[in-house]
Structure 1
């Protein structure tokens, strides 16, 4: 999938990408990074990981109405109030979690919340892009679908360090060990296309 993207042209309850992870868990730490853009003016999911026990075992979700980004782990939600974000242009996001730190990075800006939780992501996840799972591998609703483009999805079974995440934003091609964009295993369903991804912020050497 290097230099490619997933394009979701319109809202639907039947269009999505199923990602097949390299590790099956359970996970006591996790990081997800991705790049995306969307013109939607209502809430939409970016990354939906569900297990038998929790429909939102790891969910990334944006609510344009309140300009709020949420990270949900094991059905527990953490909200990040944003300023000046609308995500109509290509945006890079990383969300990292362990037992004491929930951090969201947006285009290199760190939104940090320290909170202690004793939980883990269960084994055998189903990972869906383009829809929010309200049940294990299903429960899709048109009103909760994604419209736009997504690329460079990676997931790790650990909380990345600040330097690791800065490397991701610098496009140093670090690859996840749970989801690896450069060796992605996936299945397309419905109206989803793979297109050429052109870096909107190319590195120019003077």
Structure 2
């Protein structure tokens, strides 16, 4: 699967707790969600992973508060075809094999930020939002979307994805009100836009490795395609920030590039979106399911940033 959630925000503050019974001191279990940051009304799978015993015969799935088991048999996967709030709760997987039994628990919850925004009230060099997710493998395609509202006329960063090898691995920024810059692997293309301070702007940027084609949409309208970094692979070990530009891995902030204003509706996919899918993202109805997004955002605030309705 393409991504994994880092830290304690998003789906579960404690992804798995394992308890070994009987002769299972060499057998452990944990529960892994796919995708790690699920989206409402899309498919979600919980996978009960076991180490120490390759011949597990039975998996028992239970939910706290339910009298009857959810599933019992040889399948280690529990599938929700359309994940919704009725599925929230604590789940237990009991794996039984010749070496004994291992039990894993998982707290499934969602952090839906629809109708809310991150407010960055003033210039700082230490206020930002960390998006606590990362790819598990290099990206050959991706799309990033977000909505911003600001009256800044100086350069500022919107979305900063840095690796140890490249601080501008992915960067969406505005050097001035009439220009967006989209970086991949340290190189950038420019998209010129009308100046507007009277309303928020919804921007999406996508890139594909085989052709190097980069696309940009502003408020659902596509701009002419451009190209950069053909056959490049975006690194997986990343720090992802809103509100500051990283000049090194996870730091190197410059107050003169900090964001002041509001950011919301942040999404990232490991594929290019169609025009219709971009419009869906504008209204917080993402399809297909993103790597992470506003309907279940794994984040942590640092400094003076506020989540407001």
In the TM superposition, what is the alpha-carbon distance from 1:22 to its structure 2 partner? 5.6
Shift in CA distance, 88/194, structure 1 to aligned 2, threshold 3 Å: same
1:46 aligns with 2:158: yes
Aligned counterpart, 2:203: 93
Question: Would you say the 8 A contact 2:121–2:261 is kept in 1?
Answer: yes
Aligned counterpart, 1:202: none
In the TM superposition, what is the alpha-carbon distance from 1:25 to its structure 2 partner? 3.2
1:137 aligns with 2:250: yes
Map 1:1-80; keep pairs closer than 5 Å.
1-21=113-133, 23-64=135-176, 67-80=178-191
Whole-angstrom distance in 1 between the partners of 2:145 and 2:186: 20
Select between 29-38 and 160-169 the one with higher mean Cα deviation. 160-169
Whole-angstrom distance in 2 between the partners of 1:189 and 1:14: 7
In the TM superposition, what is the alpha-carbon distance from 1:177 to its structure 2 partner? 2.7
Question: Would you say the 8 A contact 1:16–1:192 is kept in 2?
Answer: yes
TM-score normalised over the length of structure 2: 0.60
Structure number, greater radius of gyration: 2
Whole-angstrom distance in 2 between the partners of 1:152 and 1:185: 13
Map 1:111-126; keep pairs closer than 5 Å.
111-115=223-227, 117-126=230-239
- Mind listing any 5+ residue stretches in structure 2 that lack a counterpart? 1-112
Question: Would you say the 8 A contact 2:168–2:183 is kept in 1?
Answer: yes
In the TM superposition, what is the alpha-carbon distance from 1:160 to its structure 2 partner? 1.2
Greater RCO between the two (CA within 8 Å, min separation 6)? 1
TM-score normalised over the length of structure 1: 0.88
Cα-Cα RMSD: 1.6
The number of equivalent residue pairs is 193
- Mind listing any 5+ residue stretches in structure 1 that lack a counterpart? 197-206
